[in-house]
Amino acid sequence: MSHPVGNVQTLMNDELHNDLIDPIECGHIKESLEKKSLLLEESQAIAHIGGWEFDVQTSRVTWTSEVYRIHGVGLEYNPNNLRNNIAFYTPSSAPVIEEAFKRAVENGENYDLELELVQATGKTIWIRTMGRVTVEKRAITRVSGNIMDITDRKLAQLELTRLNAELESRVRQRTIRLETANRELEAFAYNIAHDLKAPLRAISGFSAILAEDYASVLDDEGKRLLGIVSSNAERLSSLISDIVEITRIGMTIPRIARIAMRSMALAMYHEVASAEEISGITFNLGAIPDCEGDTLMMRKVWGNLLSNAIKFTSGKAERIIEVSAETSDRETKYSVRDNGIGFDPKYIDKLFKLFRRLHRDPVYTGTGAGLAIVRCVIELHGGKVGASSSGSTGTVFWFILPRNPESI
């Protein structure tokens, strides 16, 4: 079977020599077929797509004009030598097209390949070539298909692949540097904590010795001053521990798992509240939903928020703590509400900053690092924190977590 242009010419000749067709009618047919032939050629040239055909019985190969252009040869080139046709392909592509064509002719297998081809001019281009088998009366009669110049698309694709690989390499390198920096920072924090706590332990130890062995020598003022030294040493030790804790959290990548938040909140309440406190507190725990997060980190969130609620309701005759949640399509908002002393809303920007305490009353102990730890954990999970209060009527602390773990 001939290629489309050959078919057009054959039909034209047949029509011209057919005595049954009027000469004027024949002229119209000839003009129409010539226009269609030209249109086909132009369409293939614009799309850079050529058509080809291999007649299995005669071993004859037919190319359209665009196939000649893609190979960089003139119309005088004879495409019937399959070995010469395969020689246009690069050493890596030639065996691929040869095997694919062989399997098509012998086994009736279609193919669709992207390969490198070297034009007669020496220029290397990328082509997409497709072969389709025609079977008639259970015999393979021909293999036909298209060949398309895809150089621009392929080069853009290869450049994108290169850039992605380069980006991945940079990310890996930066990750390694970040992990190294984190390890160094963690070691630095540990060494600082160790070096600072050693003299603090000495101060606390000698203060205890003085208080015990020289109690008869010290007057009341001396004992008071010694107590201040001892309590401040203990407070400084707690501050150092909190610095190390928040540093470690900030350097940790969350290990995401499903968390039963209601069970965790209840467990942490019983962990941070004494038996005496539990007996004097009305604790209302709503039906809060589960979340995706790091279990150990989330325990710190509940522990700190519930400890605060317990601490700041200590002066109330009736102590109430409520835990609830609100859910939307994208996120869940968890809240811990209490009827404690509250805070002045104008100082809300200080709440979640390290060592910023709003209540200096010695009744309310602590370093002020708890809420900073809460903020650090929630932000590592892709969420946010907040609080509101109306003075003496209580406080509500809340944190929002995304429901989709991919956003973490």
Check residue 334 and give its pLDDT: 96
Smallest CA-to-CA distance from 252 within 346, 178, 197 is with 178
What is the C-alpha to C-alpha distance for residues 186 and 12, in angstroms, rounded to an integer? 86
Question: For 312, phi and psi rounded to 5 degrees?
Answer: -90, 5
Encoding tokens for residue 55? 């007649």
Q: What pLDDT shows up at residue 5? A: 41
The residues, any chain, with a CB within 8 Å of residue 386's CB and separated by 6 or more, are 397, 398, 399
What is the predicted pLDDT for the residue at 303?
92
What secondary structure letter does DSSP report for 1?
-
Separation between Cα atoms, residue 93 and residue 68, nearest integer Å: 19
321 to 181, 285, 305, 345: CA distances (angstroms): 41, 8, 11, 20
Q: Which CATH class is domain 4-148?
A: alpha beta
Closest alpha carbon to 265 in 399, 366, 161:
399
Instruction: Give the H or E element holding residue 6.
Output: helix 4-16
Contacts of 99 (CB under 8 A, 6+ apart): none
Burial 206-220 (b: 16+ CB within 10 A, else e): ebeebbeeeeeeeee
| Contact indicator for 281, 244 with CB cutoff of 8 Å | no
- Cα separation, 394 vs 382, whole angstroms: 28
Q: What pLDDT score does 47 carry? A: 54
- Identify whether the C-beta of residue 308 lies closer than 8 Å to the C-beta of residue 365: no
Contact (Cβ atoms closer than 8 angstroms) between residue 48 and residue 148? yes
What pLDDT is recorded for position 324? 94
What fold is seen in the domain 253-408? Heat Shock Protein 90 (3.30.565)
Q: Return the closest-CA partner of residue 54 out of 10, 11, 123, 111.
A: 111
Domain spans, the chain = 4-148, 176-251, 253-408
Could you list the pLDDT tens digit for every one of the 408 residues in the chain?
334 444 444 444 444 444 444 666 655 555 555 555 555 555 555 556 899 999 999 999 999 989 999 999 999 999 999 999 999 999 999 999 999 999 999 999 999 999 999 999 999 999 999 999 999 988 999 999 999 999 988 888 888 888 888 888 888 888 787 777 667 766 766 776 677 777 888 888 888 888 888 888 888 888 888 888 888 888 787 777 777 777 777 767 788 899 999 999 999 999 999 999 999 999 999 889 999 999 999 999 999 999 989 988 887 888 999 999 999 888 999 999 998 887 777 767 777 776 555 545 544 455 567 888 888 899 888 999 988 886 666 889 999 999 875 544
**What is the C-alpha to C-alpha distance for residues 5 and 2, in angstroms, rounded to an integer?**
8
- Sheet of 111-118, strands arranged across: 60-63, 49-55, 139-149, 124-136, 111-118
- pLDDT for res 235: 76
pLDDT for 10: 43
pTM over 0.95: no
265 vs 252: CA distance, rounded Å: 22
Of 381, 384, 386, the residue nearest 407 (C-alpha): 381
